[in-house]
Amino acid sequence: MRILLINPNTTAAVTDLLVAAARPVAAAGTELVPHTARIGFPYISSRAEAQLAGAHLLEILAERSGEADAAIVAAFRDPGLQPARELFDLPVIGMSEAAMLTACLLGGRFGIVTFSTSLAPWYRDCVALNGLLGRCSGIRTLEGPFRDIAAVQEEKEELLVALAARAVEEDGAEVVILAGAPLAGLAPRVADRVAVPLVDPIAAAVKQAEAVVSLAPRKARAGGFARPAPKPSTGLAPALAAWIAGER
């Protein structure tokens, strides 16, 4: 099966990290098709950036959804996920929802650990939107700047491991999610140094995408995730306008 792995950030080095973390867990017959956003930000870290990146995600899927069996939105906080799931026919999986749902299989409450303070309230919204606040023991973030988004996981490795330990000891986390695309691949490397199971969001997303493709659910034809009726629009990217107009 082919899985479109869409990095909504414009930094190709982060796409490389994601693919490197995803490949070892992918099944034998799974082909990962990476796509780095052409429009947007080197690294999405705010609601406004996510609004814009989520809009561009729809443009990408309007062009490429026909090439794949499923798509992954490979940024924590899943920009554009629900709109994409509604609009397109292929399954679309968000990296943060996949991480949280997978964590639920490994323990009662999960903690979220990430590298930047500014992300906490925004991540909390994401947990709430998924209806999982009752399963979340807390969100812990590092303070202070980092040098390079594509190398932040090495720069901060010790601090992140220590933070995960606090999530376990002080918050009662029974699983820890190492969140944020730039941390892709960190979980397996530090698993022995944290006392509870770790979840790597991109790895979880690949497995959940494979699961959903295998189960071959029908696209909704009613309710909040049915494809909207064809509609005219003004000023959209042509492929997306055509899709929304029902011309494809």
Residues 100-139 interacting with a second copy (rule: CB under 8 A) = 101-102, 104-109, 118, 120-122, 124-125, 128-135
The single-letter DSSP state of residue 114 is E
Q: Is 235 in the site for a second copy (CB under 8 A)?
A: yes
Q: Is 222 in the site for a second copy (CB under 8 A)?
A: yes
Residue closer to a second copy, measured from CB, 68 or 101: 101
Region label for 78, one of left (φ > 0), alpha (ψ between -120 and 50) or beta (otherwise):
left
Separation of alpha carbons 137 and 110, rounded Å? 6
Pick the stretch among 14-22, 148-156, 177-185, 192-200 that binds a second copy (CB under 8 A). 192-200
Binding mask 25-64 for a second copy (x = CB under 8 A): x-xxx--------xxxxx--xxxxxxxx-xxx-x------
Cβ 30 to a second copy shortest distance, Å = 10
Q: Is 238 in the site for a second copy (CB under 8 A)?
A: no
What CA–CA distances, in Å, run from 50 to 42, 115, 123, 145?
12, 18, 12, 21
Q: Is 244 in the site for a second copy (CB under 8 A)?
A: yes
Cβ 115 to a second copy shortest distance, Å = 15
Q: If 0-12 CB within 10 Å is exposed, 13-18 middle and 19+ buried, where does residue 247 land?
A: exposed
Separation of alpha carbons 148 and 52, rounded Å? 23
Q: Is 207 in the site for a second copy (CB under 8 A)?
A: yes
Residue closer to a second copy, measured from CB, 66 or 188: 188
Phi, psi of 215 (to 5 degrees): -75, -15
Both structure tokens of 186: 């960190």
